[in-house]
Amino acid sequence: MLIGVPKEIKNHEYRVGLAAAGVHELVRAGHEVVVERDAGRGAGIADEDYAAVGATIASSADEVWSRAEMIVKVKEPVGPEHELMRPGQILFTYLHMAPDRELTEAALSSRVTSLAYETVQLPDRSLPLLAPMSSIAGRLATQVASYHLMAPRGGSGVLMGGIPGTREANVLVIGGGVVGEQAARMARGLHANVTIMDINLARLSQISLTHEGTILTRYNTRLDLEEQVRNADVVIGSVLIPGKKAPKLVTDDMVATMKPGSVLVDVAIDQGGCFENSHPTTHDDPTFRVHEAIYYCVANMPGSVPVTATSGLTNATLPYVLKLANLGWREACRQDSALAKGLHTVDGVLYQSGVAEAHDIESAPLEDALGS
């Protein structure tokens, strides 16, 4: 199979779909790989590095998209990339279609075969292709919150861990998944007071045991959430329902009760955000104010650490890329039920009920796409 790796064009997106090591494995398996010129530069990978492991360097995105049987990316196609998708081509990337009707319609009208990293799901319900970026986003969430708490950034001027004789910041993490636990670990490492809220009691018990009670846990009810938000210096939203829009848990009324200069980081913004007032921001202009609080809603946080992120993403996606290239999308999905859950569109038909619900359009059962 001929696999294409285009340069990412989203604002300050420096990651690339495959590291050189991943390209090498694909070439060793008998496949061809074409990489757009300078696609890996932001991640510290030169064109010469790709050429040295057998890739062909293309002069433009048009060349990559027009030649490749499968496109391997990082972020969802945006703007001019919508016109480059074509019938029968495999697109394997983060898609986040539920909050993005324009992309959904473009994928359907182009008749591309699209599979999303974020909905590939193992039998234990873990998300292997989302996990590495979730780990990064969770850790970054604490870093950016700490930075924006500083008075010159408009924050309250509270140091995360304080110093002896002063109070530490109160950090509330909503959602106890990979993002939430990583954010909480980082905040606790800075000696902040940290609470995770979730509706999964088993998960809360696991977190409490793992961290030996140093991270507090609370069951998420509306009354308790209101109290926790009111007392927080930082709120990190990390709620995820795979394939669906994130629920709006933190309301405008709750934010109005927060201390001036409090910081809210919405890591769920890729799926529409879990705060009522959230809207996507960029690394160029990452924050905005609501009442007297600061919102940080950058939709590609891991793109700011592309060397780490590209390596981690390739490690996770490569086995699936190889499977798709070796077997074709249909047989690969038949043999791997986790990969099959990533299938979004084929030949103008949608196969994700969560996306269908978000946009009030029809979807078909996955079995229809896979056949017997």
Q: What is the largest CA-CA distance in the chain?
A: 68
Report the alpha-carbon distance of residue 116 to residue 340 in Å, rounded: 10
The one-character DSSP state at 347 is: T
CB neighbours (10 Å) of residue 326?
14
Cα-to-chain-centroid distance, residue 316: 13
DSSP bridge pairs for 343: 115
Report the alpha-carbon distance of residue 277 to residue 300 in Å, rounded: 18
Burial of 58 (0-12, 13-18, 19+ CB in 10 A): buried
Report the alpha-carbon distance of residue 216 to residue 195 in Å, rounded: 5
For helices 131-148 and 306-327, angle between their N-to-C axes, nearest 10 degrees: 160
What the block records as the tokens of 367 is 């079995």
Q: Assign residue 82 a region (left: φ > 0; alpha: ψ between -120 and 50; beta: otherwise).
A: alpha
Residue with structure tokens 């009920």? 353
Distances (CA, A) of 64 to 85, 176, 242: 11, 39, 30
C-alpha dihedral, 241 to 201 to 146 to 278, nearest 10°: 30
Report the alpha-carbon distance of residue 203 to residue 69 in Å, rounded: 41
Grouping H, G, I as helix, E, B as strand and the rest as coil, residue 71 is strand
- Known catalytic residues are 96, 270
For helices 131-148 and 178-189, angle between their N-to-C axes, nearest 10 degrees: 40
